Every structure is written in C-alpha cells, then in structure tokens.
Structure 1
C-alpha cells in the first residue's frame, strides 16, 4: 500500500481493516494471550496484565462487531493493492496444454482479463480502487 508512509498509518489501516472484517477482537485476543510480551511491554499494574480487566476490554472490543464498518474501504479508495496468485493444478504434470484466462472480482472492483502464459503458475498484479 503506497498511500501509507508511517508506522502509525499502518497501525490505523490495520485497525480499520480488522474492524471492517470483524476480526479486531480475534487479533487483540491473540496479542493479549502472549503473557511474555505483555510482561515486556507493560508494568505489573497495567490493566492488560490483570485477567479480569483484560477480559472486560476484550468484551468491549467484541461488541464493536455489532456495527458495520467501512472505514478501510472508504479511506483507501485510491490505493493500489498488490496481489500474488498461485495456481495449483492438482496434476502431477507441471504444465497445462490449454491457455488460462483469469478475471478476479471483488466487492469494489474487478480486474480485466489476465491471460497467463503457458507454464506460468505464479504471478502478481495490482488493482487501484479508484
């Protein structure tokens, strides 16, 4: 994502995307489950090191799932996203005899037809949401 220039910007984009996909609770729960990390980053009396207060915090974060957020989609409409695609044929042969065309469609946009050269099974492409 070329629109983001700072670590704070990446953190904000992460929170916005996690809210939009209703995964913020899961990600924060994973981080807060790492007791060693919490010991290194927070003082003994920090609320994130108290189990009861940590559970209350996670409960409040979970309640955000009731709302539908579009903050990532609405904020980064003009950004360019890079995608990597790997095709797996399920065959022991490494090459296909027929040509392959792919169109990838999402909720914001679709790609144009992507023609793959014979023998190519991994490629990247970027999409602008403008």
Structure 2
C-alpha cells in the first residue's frame, strides 16, 4: 500500500522523484503514464498523493486527474503536477480538474517535503 504515486513517462524523472520520496519515508508506487496511474489508484486506496507529469503518451496527467475525480469519485487524493509546462491555460484546466499544486521542473525535493508529508498524514 503506497502513500504516493509518481506518474511520469520519463524513467529518469520517475526514478529521481520516487527515490527521493522513498529515502524520506514515503511508501511510493510508480506508473508510466496516466492510464497506468488511474489503474494504480483503482487498485490501491491507500494512495493519498499523486505526483504526475502533464505530457505523457496514452493519457496525460490532467486527463488522469479529471478521471480520478469524475470516474473514481476520489476527491480526497491530492494531485500535484510536476512538469516543464508553465502555461496558464493548462494550469487553469488542472485547477478545474482538482489539481492541488503545480511544480515546474526541475524537482527540488526539499521544498516539497513538508507539504507532501501533510498531504499523506505523515506529520
């Protein structure tokens, strides 16, 4: 049972984020794209936080967020986009989909530890 799901089509980015979070006490699961991420959320109700890229094949991160809210009815999981995108239209679409936060890459783990711990109830 994972606290955090890291979704990114880049294995390097996925491994960096997942590795950092694991070293800092989080139970982490990973997925290669939004489709796999959605399946992981269906299968693991313990996930409290999703850290996802936006641009991915098969299903992008914002579409995944929309489906988490609409199809799964999951309003409790926090979804944070970790992306190179800083487009205001994408951010607005993310906000409408229930995205809790938007982090522009590169990932700076120390800056997110406190809020991520709070999202997962690890404080």
Same fold (TM over 0.5): no
Please indicate the TM-score interval, normalised by the length of the shorter structure.
Answer: under 0.3
Task: State the TM-score, normalizing by the size of structure 2.
Answer: 0.23
Task: State the TM-score, normalizing by the size of structure 1.
Answer: 0.22
Larger Cα Rg: Structure 1 or Structure 2?
Answer: 1
